[in-house]
Amino acid sequence: MRPSFSAALLALLLSAPLAAAPFAGARAADAYPTRPVLKTTTTVAGETIAYPTSGPAEVKADIVTIAPGAETVFHRHGVPMFAYILKGTVVVDYGAQGKKTFTAGQGMVEAMAVTHRGTNPGPEPVEILAVYMGAQGSDNVIPVK
């Protein structure tokens, strides 16, 4: 008796190695490669990252835009904030700790207790993905006068 086409196809599929499955093994790295951006336990100012415990965990993400020639107010952060520069160049003034320049494609954990402000020295808007990792009710940005 001759096996049916369905039975032959099933036998073929069951005998194929698992590595041939889509997204398995090395093929997964080809399908969705990763490029490390940042791995740290401290902020750019050298502070140890500490998460607030004042309420349930909350993650908030914003895209901050700084116009050409504009600057933010002096501020601090009440929660850890990961920043990824999407577009442009921003110069951040950390007072006595000096200034640091960040360009598109760079990531960092912003200073929390060190007062700072960002300036866009370029001719195009700066865009920053800001991801705040805190607790409900925490102040993500605290203006300093």
Tokens of 3: 């096996």
Q: Structure pTM? A: 0.78
Longest dimension (CA), the chain: 89
- Examine residue 6 and state whether it is found in any structural domain, yes or no: no
Q: Write out the two tokens for 39.
A: 């791995």
pLDDT at 32: 86
41 within some domain: no
* CATH number, position 77: 2.60.120.10
Residue 16 within a domain: no
In a domain, 26, yes or no: no
- Give phi and psi for 139, each to the nearest 5: -85, 115
The answer to whether the beta carbons of residues 33 and 88 sit under 8 Å apart is no
Q: Would 51 be classed as within a structural domain? A: no
In which domain, by residue range, is 115 found? 57-143
Number of domains in the chain: 1
What digits encode the pLDDT tens for the residues 5-64? 455 444 544 555 544 455 556 676 688 889 999 999 999 999 999 999 999 999 999 999
Check residue 42 and report its DSSP letter: B
Domain presence at residue 7 = no
Q: Is 115 a domain residue? A: yes
Quick check: is 30 in a domain? no
